[in-house]
């Protein structure tokens, strides 16, 4: 299991990467949405784009995504797994952490998307 640390508003979270079967499910849940939003907006896939994409998901689908990407997430130095209740009064931090964890789990897909984007110089020719 691979773990990456993310710091949001001076709190460091250790996020375990989801197993491949869950990453596949995650890609099917959000991959097309993120690809479409990036393509139509011209924005690179970053935390802001991912947070915006999450805002249009139905709550049950968002909860499923969050469950996949935060399934073994703890605050650095602690041992209790986090859930949405850990973010009382800091819900934006929760969405940002989910977005960061999506990017972490689907990095290879987002790198692929960036590599096949038409070159701005040749798009109109």
Note whether residue 104 is domain-resident: yes
Cα distance between residue 66 and residue 37, in whole Å: 19
pLDDT level of residue 114 (50, 70, 90 thresholds): confident
Residue 7 has pLDDT above 70, yes or no: yes
Across the range 6-18, mean pLDDT stands at: 97
Note whether residue 31 is domain-resident: yes
Note whether residue 50 is domain-resident: yes
Cα distance between residue 8 and residue 5, in whole Å: 10
Structure tokens at 60: 């049950």
Note whether residue 10 is domain-resident: no
Averaged pLDDT of the chain: 90
Task: Find the domain containing 91 and state its range.
Answer: 19-70+87-115
Residue 6 has pLDDT above 60, yes or no: yes
pLDDT level of residue 118 (50, 70, 90 thresholds): low
Measured between alpha carbons, how far is residue 98 from residues 15, 71, 105 in Å? 10, 11, 10
Residues 17, 19, 22, 26, CA torsion sign: positive
pLDDT level of residue 44 (50, 70, 90 thresholds): confident
Note whether residue 123 is domain-resident: no
pLDDT level of residue 119 (50, 70, 90 thresholds): low
Cα distance between residue 98 and residue 13, in whole Å: 11
How many folded domains does the chain comprise? 1
Note whether residue 125 is domain-resident: no
Note whether residue 44 is domain-resident: yes
Note whether residue 110 is domain-resident: yes
Q: Angle of helix 91-105 relative to helix 47-54, nearest 10 degrees?
A: 110
């Amino acid at each position: 299991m691979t773990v990456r640390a993310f710091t949001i508003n001076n709190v460091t979270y250790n996020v375990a990467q989801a197993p491949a079967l869950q990453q596949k499910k995650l890609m099917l849940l959000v991959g097309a949405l993120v690809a479409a939003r990036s393509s139509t907006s011209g924005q690179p896939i970053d935390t802001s784009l991912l947070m915006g994409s999450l805002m249009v998901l139905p709550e049950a689908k968002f909860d499923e995504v969050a469950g996949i990407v935060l399934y073994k997430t703890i605050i650095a130095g602690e041992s209790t797994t986090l859930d949405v209740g850990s973010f009382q009064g800091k819900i934006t931090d929760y969405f940002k952490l989910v977005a960061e964890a999506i990017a972490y789990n689907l990095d290879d897909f987002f790198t692929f998307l960036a590599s096949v984007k038409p070159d701005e110089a040749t798009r109109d020719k």
